[in-house]
Amino acid sequence: MCPDRPTTGHPGAPLQRGFGLPLALFMITVLAFLVVGMAQQQRASGQSVSLQLQSQRAFFAAESGAQLALAKVLADELSCAGFPTELDFTIGALKECKALLSCSATDPLTIPGSGGNQVFTLISSGECGAGNELASRTVEVRVR
pLDDT, tens only, 46-102: 777 888 888 999 999 999 999 988 888 888 777 777 777 888 888 888 888 999 999
Q: What is the C-alpha radius of gyration for the chain, rounded to an integer number of angstroms?
A: 34
Query: Max Cα separation, the chain?
Result: 123
Residues 30-61: tens digit of each pLDDT: 999 999 988 888 887 777 788 888 899 999 99
pLDDT value for 131? 79
Alpha-carbon span 16 to 69, nearest angstrom: 83
Least confident span in 4-8, 24-28, 74-78, 94-98: 4-8
Helix boundaries (H) for 76-128: none
Predicted TM-score (pTM) of the model is: 0.64
